[in-house]
Structure formats: C-alpha cells, structure tokens
Amino acid sequence: MSSPNNKPDDFNRSATHIIYSKHAHCRMDCRYINEEEVKEILTNGKVNKSKIETDNRGTTFPVEGITQGHHLRIVFAPKGDDAVEVVTCIDLDRDWPCHCN
C-alpha cells in the first residue's frame, strides 16, 4: 500500500525473523524495553505515517503503541519478505539517560 507521495505506508507486520541492530539493543537496555514489547508493538502498534523515512538504504517505519506501561516508538526497517530490523527504540514519555551513539 502506498501513500500519495509514493512512499509505502505499511510493511509486513507478521515477519517471523526480527533482527536487532547494535543501536537498538543499546537503546532497549537503557530504556528497559524487552523483545516481547518490541514484538507487541510490531504486531499491534500504529505506523506514524508522518515519520516514515526513505533513503538509499530503504524505508523505515516508526510504529507506536503502549505495552507493559511503556509508550513506545519502535523504528523498523523491512529486510526481505519475512524479516524486519529494529533500528531504534524510543520511550515517548520518559527521557532515559543513555550512552548509545
């Protein structure tokens, strides 16, 4: 499905293979976000269409929702038909101290 600006506005939310970038793992540690929460946001969250970005690496999809008391934005990048990479994880309600780059 595409939006009027020819960017896709969703992706395969039932991907069975989830890849975590080094940055995503670091952000998850700092913000006390676990893999179960990431999967719940992937499955049940809402794509923030205004924050979808596309560059030479592909398109990233920021998906937002509430899980286990966290109001999160998880940025996903599709990787083939049945895989998705977690690029970063953001707690929308709290600014956690973090050493990640």
Residue 78: which pLDDT band, with cuts at 50, 70 and 90?
very high
Inter-CA distances, 47 with 26, 64, 97, Å: 23, 6, 26
**DSSP code of residue 15:** -
pLDDT for position 8: 64
Residue 3: which pLDDT band, with cuts at 50, 70 and 90?
very low
Q: In CATH, what class is 17-91?
A: alpha beta
Structure tokens at 96: 């956690």
Query: What H or E segment, with its residue span, contains residue 62?
Result: strand 58-67
Question: Domain segments of the chain: what residues?
Answer: 17-91
pLDDT for position 80: 85
Report if pTM > 0.85. yes
Over residues 24-75, the pLDDT tens digits come to 999 999 999 999 999 999 999 999 999 999 999 899 999 999 999 899 999 9
Measured CA angle at 49 (ends 17, 99), to 5 deg: 65
